[in-house]
Amino acid sequence: SSTGDDGASGDGGSGDVITVGFAQTGSESGWRSANTESMKEAFSADNGFDLKFNAADNKQEAQIAAVRSFINQGVDAIVIAPITVDGWDDVLKEAQDAGIPVVLEDRTVSASEDLYASWVGLDFEQEGKTAGEWVKENFDGKGANLVILEGTTGSSAALDRATGFAEATEGTDINVLDSQTGDFTRDGGKKVMEGYLQKYGDDIDVLFAHNDDMGLGALDAIEAAGLTPGKDIQIVTIDAVHDGMQALADGKFNFIVECNPLLGEKAADLVKAVLAGETVEKKTIVPDQSFTQEQAIEALPTRPY
Ligand code: AHR
C-alpha cells in the first residue's frame, strides 16, 4: 500500500508507489484524447504512480461521484479536470477533511482556492480573445453575420472563451446571429450548425467554434447544404488537434487558436511536490499559439497529436 510520504522519490521504483485518482471529463473531443494520453503517460508505473482513471462522459454528477469514490479508496492524491466551474465545494471539502490533496488540470472551478493545492491549465479567455481579434481583423466594417458554437455549458473553457471573444469583437459591426452549445462534440457541432443553416441559410459569413471538433462537425453540415467551408462560411476554432490542423491546411478552416492538451507532466510534478510537502504555485498557465493555413501546413508533420 502507498503512503505518499516520499512521493518526490517515486521515480522508477525507488520509494513508495503514489496512488492517484484522476477524474477526467469524458472523451468528448480529440483534445480530450490527447490530454488523457498525456496524463496516463505522466502518471505511469514507470514514473512511480498507480493511476486510477475515471472518465465521466461529460456528466458533472458522475464526475463528483468518481472523486468521492477516490476519497473512499484512500488514494494519496486526486487530479480533476472539472467539467463545470460550479458544484465543487462539498466534495473538495471532503477530500481536504480526508487529508487528500487535489490538483486541478485543464479547467478551473469557482470554489475557494483553499480547497485545492494547485491548478495547471490554459488561458481560455486569451484563447477567445485571439479568435475574436482574428474575426475583427477580417470582418469588421463589412456588416458580417456570425454564428457561434459554444462548448459545454458552465465549463470554464466555454465561459472564458465567450468572455474573451466578446471583449475582442466589442464595438465592431459584426452581427451575432446565434450562439448555442454543441457540448464540445462533433455530433453537437453538426446538429447545431444544421439548425443554423436551416434558419439563416447563406446569410452566415463566419463561424466561431469553441473547439475543433464542433468545427469539424459543422463542416459536414455546411458541405451537405451545398456551401464551401473556408470560403462561403469562414471558420475559426480553438484547439489545434490533428484533424483541425488538417482542415486548416486543406483550406476548410481559416484560423485556429491553440489549446495545449499536454498537461500530464506538469500535473504529475505538482502531485509529487505537494505530497513531498513543498510549496507549489497555485496557478500554472501553459502558453498557446495560433495558426494560419501556411503555419498549419508547416506544423502538421511534427505535431505530436
Ligand atoms: O477544456 C478544454 C476543452 O475541452 C477543449 O478545448 C475541448 O476540445 C475539450 O473538450
pLDDT in tens, 27-51: 999 999 999 999 999 999 999 999 9
* Nearest ligand 1 atom, CA 241: 8
CA dihedral of residues 261, 128, 89, 120 (deg, nearest 10): 30
* Nearest ligand 1 atom, CA 212: 8
Distance between Cα 13 and ligand 1 center (Å): 34
From 239, 263, 285, 305, mutation site for ligand 1 pocket: most ligand atoms within 8 A of C-beta:
239
The residue among 135, 148, 104 whose CA lies nearest residue 122 is 104
Distance between Cα 214 and ligand 1 center (Å): 10
What per-residue confidence (pLDDT) applies to 209?
99
From 27, 28, 32, 109, mutation site for ligand 1 pocket: most ligand atoms within 8 A of C-beta:
32
Distance between Cα 216 and ligand 1 center (Å): 14
Distance between Cα 3 and ligand 1 center (Å): 33
What per-residue confidence (pLDDT) applies to 6?
42
What per-residue confidence (pLDDT) applies to 279?
96
Distance between Cα 25 and ligand 1 center (Å): 9
What per-residue confidence (pLDDT) applies to 15?
67
**Side chain identity at 39, as an amino acid letter?**
M
Interface ipTM:
0.99
Distance between Cα 120 and ligand 1 center (Å): 14
- Counting as low any pLDDT under 70, the low residues of the chain are 1-15
pTM of this structure:
0.94
From 211, 241, 262, mutation site for ligand 1 pocket: most ligand atoms within 8 A of C-beta:
211
Report residues whose beta carbon is within 6 angstroms of any ligand 1 atom.
Answer: 28-29, 31-32, 106-107, 157, 184, 211, 213, 238-239, 259
What per-residue confidence (pLDDT) applies to 191?
98
What per-residue confidence (pLDDT) applies to 113?
97
* Nearest ligand 1 atom, CA 210: 6
What per-residue confidence (pLDDT) applies to 50?
98
Nearest CA owner, ligand 1 atom 2: 157
* Nearest ligand 1 atom, CA 238: 6
From 122, 184, 257, mutation site for ligand 1 pocket: most ligand atoms within 8 A of C-beta:
184
